Structure 1
């Protein structure tokens, strides 16, 4: 039984390992390109604060539901 478990562990490592190593190598340039600074800082410096990630209040008085109309 222990041999079967060993084979499963080795087989799993052979299936998961190479793609993981490939992705680490492929993304290494992008990871190192940040040079430790916050990504997107240049955009923030040029354009100021952005509300793209915030739940900003919106005008919901103009929304209505129409039923039975096929237009």
Structure 2
């Protein structure tokens, strides 16, 4: 699935808007979890087991720790 199709189907609707101040801040860590489009249950398992939510996630991001899912597949599959 290409990026345009993913956007049209709502996969990227939860992206946060980039403000000037947030794009200039220093990041301490970026944690990316690679998952396929069809791996919804696996992503929820990760979220429930170790990924903070709500205010805890906001506090981490304020300190420069960003956690995001990297969703896609390689060109050969």
The normalised TM-score by structure 2 is 0.21
Of Structure 1 and Structure 2, the greater helix share is in: 1
Of Structure 1 and Structure 2, the greater strand share is in: 2
- Structure number with greater CO (CA < 8 Å, separation at least 6) is 2
